[in-house]
Amino acid sequence: MRIDARIDPEVEDAYWQGVYWSQPHYRAELGYDDYAPAYCVGYIGYAQYGGRFADSEKCLCANWIRIKGDSRLTLDDAMAAIRAARDHAEQAQVAMDEEDEQLVQDAMAGQRAQQQRQPAYAAA
């Protein structure tokens, strides 16, 4: 299920499960369960707020405080993970927008080509 036609939480969660350990903010003593709430705040936050990270940073921080549960991340570590997930969601959206634009252009070009191939009928 997509959120705001931008984010698929299952896809985002699967992505972060596979790469969290390779991120600059990763700490070896912490597991994915510690990072997952912060990543969720980041990608859901992008769908909620869009725009620039700086414009939504306070809201994202408040969301983290509300949902962090048993996560052992410090606030600084959480904000780094939130930012990473938000930035990843934004980059995915840009790529999806570019792909959609190409699909539209291709469809329009195909329609024009089809119209050019159709014979013009004389009015009776």
pLDDT in tens, 34-93: 999 999 999 999 999 988 999 999 999 999 999 999 999 999 999 999 999 999 998 887
Look at residue 41 and give its three-state secondary structure.
helix
Distance of CA 77 to the CA centre of its chain: 20
Q: Distance (Å, rounded) from C-alpha 76 to C-alpha 64?
A: 11
Per the prediction, the chain carries an average pLDDT of: 84
Please state the pTM of the whole predicted model: 0.74
Residue extents of the structural domains in the chain: 9-117
Rounded Cα–Cα distance for residues 37 and 39 (Å) = 5
